């Protein structure tokens, strides 16, 4: 034969599987406050190491430290805590509603609440998000009515999308929330196109694209980076690295070969990596990137390092592929607890007020759910009309659809 | 009025649209400075500037995906895919996104884009410069699919497509860019300047989507054709002496069923012709509709003359391309049935 041995295929594996002891000792976590904050008009070549570090503001003691601290007032932070708690409570109730058969499907955000909630606060009215199915915090923090979200989830007679969409695939132009598609990463390049349009029209609005770690492997991720860079589009390109794409760990999308953020560098896009469970850090980094885009300095890529605590969806059982205790071993902790502790440290919050807020939020979510359920759930009560099924395929119904609608008896 | 080739007519349609509506933007590979590999966008960048007409990276999903984002913003992008054979990387964006955006968002977001692409064979284009993928789009609810066959229609249909509120797949038979072609490759090609439909208004006009055109009235049988096959049908009618009614469908989706049904009810016989491969091609849909709506008027089986179920070959160009001899044979058989 030859002087070489046979070739072998490398298939990455997570360090730990069910039954094993979770171990994140290989995940380097820089100290809070240790990463510098460059000017927004910095030459991207000078901040390449930001793609390999993690920007963090909250330290172990719950103090806000370093150059990225100080973008939010007490009041704004309290609102941020309330937004995250609301999203978590909303998730818990909808998860239960799915188990009760009131809807067919749900996807929760457990552990990732800070990312979308804090990012939303860095945007201005008129900006447009191109979210995935795991950024409902953009709606909650943007003041979109929970009842309308639930109406969509229940596909009832008040469903803003007329029962046409799978639950959680919301759409709200008014709230800067582009229609969610089931097809992964398609929206990433669309965000870039939207931003290009804003630039073509000499507007001042910017776009934000969203993708998960697993979906960065889709070809539209690459297309988005090329277009964003070529045309210096005013877009913030977000990657939520929650370590898991259903059952596949981020190594299958070739995480660990550098970082996801670092993929921006090859395109000349400045890239930052941030503690996704640190509300203050997420907001500060988002604000930086939004300002860059707004000042026509071009796109920014941000990787949020976080952990998907919950199941991928209500159709998933994570105990089949990862240790049950893995989320509690996650070194960046829980975003709600960390902000809560920080606010208590600041003297702006207390355990008592937190408990009280939890109760208030639960009441509000239950009230919204009651109202939504009064308009129907998937299998009970009011539902969108069958006629709605035929509408909206085109601006005007063509003859063949009209014939089919008549055939269906509506 | 002016004499235009199909290329000039398509360029004129974009020119007129860009002048009338400053939300119309044009981009694609080699579309900007160079004016397109087929010259369809020549001079547009110079006239309207780099932010209205520009070159794009070689990424079909990027081109269509960006156009969808722009449309969601409120622009009317008219983008180019260099060859229909290269549209597949954009298929996800077209099918999953452009076609469904209005429906899934209940009209909150819409997608008034046009995706232009040169299509069809007869040019020794081999496997990846000859395909006719229209059936991959007519199967998708939410899209409109247009195939012009002459300069006049090309301009009017393209302006109508750009102004249409829904996504339009605009397939340009590149074999017809410089002149009509009836499949007689052994004869010299006549230019559009010698054809009445090479006479095109300079300014704004539309040919409405969803309306077929009867290109030749006849009483013996009905030929359903589009694109290059319209001229093949004209040649076959003349050569066989069969008094065929030739319908140029122009828009495949939505389809002008009324014109088709009226014709077949009159003639009682139907031959369908397209360059695309047979199995599950658009001809199958046409045959099913004619069968459903004209069953009691039919005096023989519906025939389909199409490309073979093979990839488009190079050396065997004229054995593959459904020319007037093959169509004529099918017409005779249909008359005898």
Q: Which residues 6+ apart lie within 8 Å of A8 measured at CB? A: none
Q: What is the mean pLDDT of each run of 10 residues along chain B (337 residues)?
A: 97 98 98 98 98 98 98 98 98 98 98 98 96 98 98 98 98 98 95 97 98 98 98 98 98 98 98 98 98 98 98 97 98 96
Q: What CATH number should be reported for the domain holding residue A270?
A: 3.40.50.970
Tell which B residues from 23 to 52 touch A, by Cβ distance under 8 Å: 23, 25, 51-52
Tell whether B142 lies on the interface with A, counting CB pairs under 8 A. Answer: yes
pLDDT at B14: 98
Separation CA A45–CA A48 (nearest Å): 6
**Among A169, A172, A190, whose Cβ lies nearest the Cβ of B72?**
A190
Q: Report residue A318's pLDDT band, with 50, 70 and 90 as the boundaries.
A: very high
Tell whether A398 lies on the interface with B, counting CB pairs under 8 A. Answer: yes
| Strand pairing report for B114-119 and B53-55 | unpaired
User: Which strands make up the sheet holding B303-307, listed edge to edge?
Assistant: B213-216, B244-248, B221-225, B270-277, B303-307
Assess whether A218 and A360 both reside in one domain. Answer: yes
pLDDT at A252: 94
pLDDT at A1: 57
Assess whether A284 and A393 both reside in one domain. Answer: no
Q: Is A4 within the bounds of a domain? A: no
CB contact under 8 A, A193 and B110: no
CB contact under 8 A, A172 and B70: no
Assess whether A374 and A395 both reside in one domain. Answer: no
pLDDT at A33: 98
pLDDT at A27: 86
Q: Is A296 within the bounds of a domain? A: yes
pLDDT at B246: 98
**Among A193, A224, A399, whose Cβ lies nearest the Cβ of B254?**
A399
Q: Residue B259 region, left (φ>0) first, then alpha (ψ -120 to 50), else beta?
A: alpha
Report the residue of A132, A189, A234 to disrupt the B interface, i.e. the one with the largest count of B CBs within 10 Å.
Answer: A189
Q: Which position has the token pair 């360059």?
A: B275
Q: Is A64 within the bounds of a domain? A: yes
Least Cα separation, residue A226 to chain B (angstroms): 8
The whole model's pTM is what? 0.98
Q: Is A27 within the bounds of a domain? A: no
pLDDT at B280: 98
Q: Is A227 within the bounds of a domain? A: yes
Tell whether B108 lies on the interface with A, counting CB pairs under 8 A. Answer: yes
pLDDT at A246: 96
pLDDT at B67: 99
* Rounded average pLDDT over A258-275: 97
Query: How many structural domains are present in chain A?
Result: 2
The tokens describing A152, both together, are 């969509």
For A233, name the nearest residue in chain B, comparing CA atoms only. B66
B274 three-state secondary structure: strand
Least Cα separation, residue A324 to chain B (angstroms): 36
For A228, name the nearest residue in chain B, comparing CA atoms only. B66
**Among A128, A165, A181, whose Cβ lies nearest the Cβ of B96?**
A181
Whether the predicted pLDDT of A2 surpasses 80? no
List of domains in chain B: 2-200 (3.40.50.970), 213-336 (3.40.50.920)
pLDDT at B258: 98
Q: Which residues pair with A244 in a beta bridge?
A: A249
| Residues above pLDDT 70, as percent of chain A | 100
Assess whether A404 and A345 both reside in one domain. Answer: no
**Which residue, B277, B274, B162, is CA-closest to B209?**
B162
Contact predicate A84/A283, CB 8 Å: no
pLDDT at B221: 98
Q: Which residues 6+ apart lie within 8 Å of A81 measured at CB? A: A279, A336, A339, A340, A343, A349, A357
Q: Which domain holds residue A182?
A: 48-312+329-378
Contact predicate A234/A202, CB 8 Å: no
Assess whether A289 and A392 both reside in one domain. Answer: no
Assess whether A260 and A354 both reside in one domain. Answer: yes
pLDDT at B337: 87
Tell whether B144 lies on the interface with A, counting CB pairs under 8 A. Answer: yes
Q: Report residue A199's pLDDT band, with 50, 70 and 90 as the boundaries.
A: very high
CB contact under 8 A, B96 and A196: no
**B184 tagged catalytic:** no
CB contact under 8 A, A181 and B104: yes
Q: Return the number of CB contacts < 8 Å for A and B.
A: 144
pLDDT at A256: 83
Is residue B254 reached through a cis peptide bond, with omega within 30 degrees of 0 on the bond before it? yes
Number of C-beta neighbours around residue A226 at 10 A: 19
pLDDT tens digits for A56-108?
999 999 999 999 999 999 999 999 999 999 999 999 999 999 999 999 999 99
Assess whether A301 and A391 both reside in one domain. Answer: no
Tell whether A165 lies on the interface with B, counting CB pairs under 8 A. Answer: yes
Q: Which position has the token pair 């301009």?
A: B155
Length of chain A measured in residues: 410
CB contact under 8 A, B75 and A200: yes
Contact predicate B250/B214, CB 8 Å: no
Average pLDDT, chain A: 97
Number of C-beta neighbours around residue A344 at 10 A: 15
pLDDT tens digits for A165-180?
999 999 999 999 999 9
**Among A197, A223, A395, whose Cβ lies nearest the Cβ of B70?**
A197
pLDDT tens digits for A355-376?
999 999 999 999 999 999 999 9
Assess whether A263 and A404 both reside in one domain. Answer: no
């Amino acid at each position: 034969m030859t002087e070489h041995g046979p070739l072998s295929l490398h298939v990455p594996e997570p360090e730990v599987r069910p039954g094993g002891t979770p171990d994140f000792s290989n995940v380097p976590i820089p100290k809070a406050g240790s990463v510098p904050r460059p000017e927004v008009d910095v030459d991207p070549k000078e901040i390449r190491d930001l793609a390999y570090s993690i920007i963090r503001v909250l330290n172990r003691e719950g103090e806000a430290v370093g150059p990225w601290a100080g973008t939010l007032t007490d009041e704004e932070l309290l609102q941020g805590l309330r937004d995250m708690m609301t999203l978590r409570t909303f998730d818990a109730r909808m998860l239960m509603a799915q188990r009760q058969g009131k809807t067919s499907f749900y996807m929760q955000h457990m552990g990732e609440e800070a990312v979308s909630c804090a990012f939303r606060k860095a945007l201005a009215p008129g900006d447009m998000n191109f979210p995935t199915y795991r950024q409902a915090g953009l709606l909650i923090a943007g003041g979109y009515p929970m009842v309308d979200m639930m109406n969509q989830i229940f596909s009832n007679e008040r469903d803003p999308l007329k029962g046409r969409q799978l639950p959680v695939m919301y759409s709200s132009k008014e709230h800067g929330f582009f229609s969610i598609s089931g097809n992964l990463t398609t929206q990433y390049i669309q965000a870039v196109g939207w931003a290009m349009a804003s630039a073509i029209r000499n507007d001042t609005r910017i776009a934000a694209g969203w993708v998960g770690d697993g979906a960065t492997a889709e070809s539209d991720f690459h297309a988005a980076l090329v277009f964003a860079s070529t045309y210096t589009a005013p877009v913030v390109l977000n990657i939520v690295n929650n370590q898991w794409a259903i059952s596949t760990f981020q190594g299958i999308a070739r995480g660990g070969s550098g970082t996801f953020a670092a993929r921006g560098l090859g395109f000349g896009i400045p890239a930052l990596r941030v503690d996704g469970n640190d509300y203050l850090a997420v907001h500060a980094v988002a604000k930086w990137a939004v300002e860059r885009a707004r000042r026509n300095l071009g796109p920014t890529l941000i990787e949020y390092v976080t952990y998907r605590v919950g199941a991928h969806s209500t159709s998933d059982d994570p105990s089949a592929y990862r240790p049950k205790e893995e989320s509690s071993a996650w070194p960046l902790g829980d975003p709600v607890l960390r902000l809560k502790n920080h606010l208590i440290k600041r003297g702006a919050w207390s355990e008592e007020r937190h408990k009280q807020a939890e109760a208030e939020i639960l009441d509000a979510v239950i009230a919204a759910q009651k109202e939504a359920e009064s308009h129907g759930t998937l299998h009970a009560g009011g539902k969108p009309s069958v006629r709605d099924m035929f509408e909206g395929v085109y601006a005007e119904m063509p003859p063949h659809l009209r014939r089919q609608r008549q055939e269906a008896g509506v | 009025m002016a004499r235009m080739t199909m290329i000039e007519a398509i360029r004129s349609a974009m020119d007129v649209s860009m002048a009338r509506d400053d939300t119309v933007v044009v981009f694609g590979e080699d579309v900007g400075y160079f004016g397109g590999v087929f010259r369809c966008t020549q001079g547009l960048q110079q006239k309207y500037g780099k932010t209205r007409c520009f070159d794009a990276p070689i990424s079909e999903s990027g081109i269509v995906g960006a156009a969808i984002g722009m449309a969601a913003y409120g622009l009317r992008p008219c983008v180019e895919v260099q060859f229909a054979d290269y549209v597949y990387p954009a298929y996800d964006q077209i099918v999953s996104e452009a076609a469904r955006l209005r429906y899934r968002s209940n009209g909150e977001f819409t997608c008034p884009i046009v995706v232009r692409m040169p299509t069809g064979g007869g040019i020794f284009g081999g496997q990846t410069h000859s395909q006719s993928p229209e059936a991959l789009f007519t199967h998708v609810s939410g899209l409109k699919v247009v195939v012009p066959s002459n300069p006049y229609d090309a301009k009017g249909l393209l302006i109508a497509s750009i102004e249409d509120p829904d996504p339009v797949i605009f397939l340009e038979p590149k074999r017809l860019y410089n002149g009509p072609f009836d499949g007689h490759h052994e004869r010299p090609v006549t230019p559009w300047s010698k054809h009445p439909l090479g006479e095109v208004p300079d300014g704004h006009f539309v040919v409405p989507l969803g309306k077929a055109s009867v290109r030749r009235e006849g009483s013996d049988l009905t030929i359903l054709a589009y694109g290059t096959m319209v001229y093949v049908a004209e040649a076959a009618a003349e050569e066989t002496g069969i008094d065929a009614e030739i319908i140029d469908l122009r828009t495949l989706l939505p389809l002008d069923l009324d014109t088709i049904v009226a014709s077949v009810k009159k003639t009682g016989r139907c031959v369908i012709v397209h360059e695309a491969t047979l199995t599950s091609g658009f001809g199958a849909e046409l045959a099913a509709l004619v069968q459903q709506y004209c069953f009691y008027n039919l005096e023989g089986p519906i025939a389909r003359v199409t490309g073979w179920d093979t990839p488009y070959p190079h050396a065997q160009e004229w054995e593959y391309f459904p020319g007037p001899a093959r169509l004529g044979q099918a017409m005779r058989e249909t008359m005898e049935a």
